[in-house]
Amino acid sequence: MNRPVPMIALWMFLVAPVHGEEIRVTLLGTGDPRPVMEHFGPSILVEAADQTFVFDAGRGALLRLTQLGIAFDEIDGVFFTHLHSDHVVGFPDLWLTGWLVSRRERPLRVFGPMGTREMLESLTRAYSVDIAIRIADDGVAESGSQFEVTEVENGFEWHDAGVSVRAFAVDHRPVEPAFGYRIDFAGRSVALSGDTRYSENLVEHAAGVDLIIHEVVGMTEEFIASRPGSERVYEHHTNAFQAGEIFSRIRPKLAVYSHLAIYEDYDSDRLILDTLQTYDGRVVVGEDLMQFTVGESVEVAEPAAPAIGR
């Protein structure tokens, strides 16, 4: 059943400005490859100073940005953690629909692992018919469909307007390379794990951050025993006990789970209980459109706009 959107709350959500000394993080999609209405594909919005970044562009990223009132034209950069389809499949929609409806004129900065440039060149070829027609018929600027691509390596850093973004390698083998990112601004810091097993390099680069957004996998032993192939998925990701250990070493003000690879009878409550076996700090299970303000403290805002499908 559809619930009406509470317009007053939505309006407040849309217009609340990000303050001078804060980083604001919004989960655009908290899911994994499975198509689930309340968990869109992995994508995280980060706003700091006058910079607006999107990390990964899973299914529905443009829809979630639209719910927030953010146009594609406002995006200063897109960072890919790795090129698994669940992290990039929303990108053609974000890019092409976003270009058309926002009438963006500046090229988009895109950062990602080796292979990002080839993917973007291939996408440009794949959509060449549409791109040519939009320019000729809709009168949009070709420059708004173009990219400035940077392929990153472990330790890569990008700086602008006092904001720095650092890429660090994580362990998502056989996907190699795969990265997490750390964002620093005005003494505040956020780390995003990307997809990874327990990663020592993540602990090193994310040590002491105010906010960590970490992926997680949750399956019961019975589920793993009954589903051929599930053990492989389980071992490619970080379980709650391991994540708790990581949080204990990083000591963030707040830890948040996103990219929720949790299955059947393993639920959010179990996720928290298992995490608390190895961690005694604040931990939250992410929801689409949940928002975090990183200032003196880290504040959590529940989604003011209901995610589509709930």
Catalytic residue chosen out of the listed positions 86, 184, 210, 274? 86
**Rounded Cα gap, residues 33 and 56, in angstroms:** 13
Q: How far is the CB of 163 from Zn ion (least distance, A)?
A: 25
For Zn ion, the closer CB: 195 or 287 = 195
For Zn ion, the closer CB: 84 or 166 = 84
Nearest to 100 by CA among 131, 57, 68: 131
269 in catalytic set: no
Q: How far is the CB of 87 from Zn ion (least distance, A)?
A: 6
Q: Is 56 helix (H, G, I), strand (E, B) or coil?
A: coil
**Rounded Cα gap, residues 140 and 131, in angstroms:** 9
**Residue where the block lists tokens 């919005």:** 45
Q: How far is the CB of 265 from Zn ion (least distance, A)?
A: 22
For Zn ion, the closer CB: 192 or 305 = 192
Q: What is the DSSP string of 183-242?
A: EEETTEEEEE--S-SS-HHHHHHHTT-SEEEEEEEE--HHHHHHSTTHHHHHHHS-BHHH
**Residue where the block lists tokens 């995490």:** 275
Any idea how long the chain is? 310
For Zn ion, the closer CB: 84 or 134 = 84
Token couple for 134:
């939009």
Name the site residues for Zn ion (rule: CB under 5 A): 84, 86, 195
**Rounded Cα gap, residues 116 and 271, in angstroms:** 33
For Zn ion, the closer CB: 83 or 308 = 83
Give residues with Cβ within 8 angstroms of 253, minimum separation 6.
210, 211, 282, 294, 297, 298
Task: Yes or no: say if 106 and 144 are a contact pair by the CB < 8 Å rule.
Answer: yes
Q: How far is the CB of 84 from Zn ion (least distance, A)?
A: 3
Q: How far is the CB of 13 from Zn ion (least distance, A)?
A: 27
For Zn ion, the closer CB: 31 or 306 = 31
Q: What is the DSSP string of 119-181?
A: HHHHHHHHTHHHHHHIIIII---GGGG-EEEEE--TT-EEEETTEEEEEEE--BTTB-S-EEE
Q: How far is the CB of 30 from Zn ion (least distance, A)?
A: 11
CA 24 distance to own-chain centroid: 13
Q: Give me the active site residues, please.
A: 86
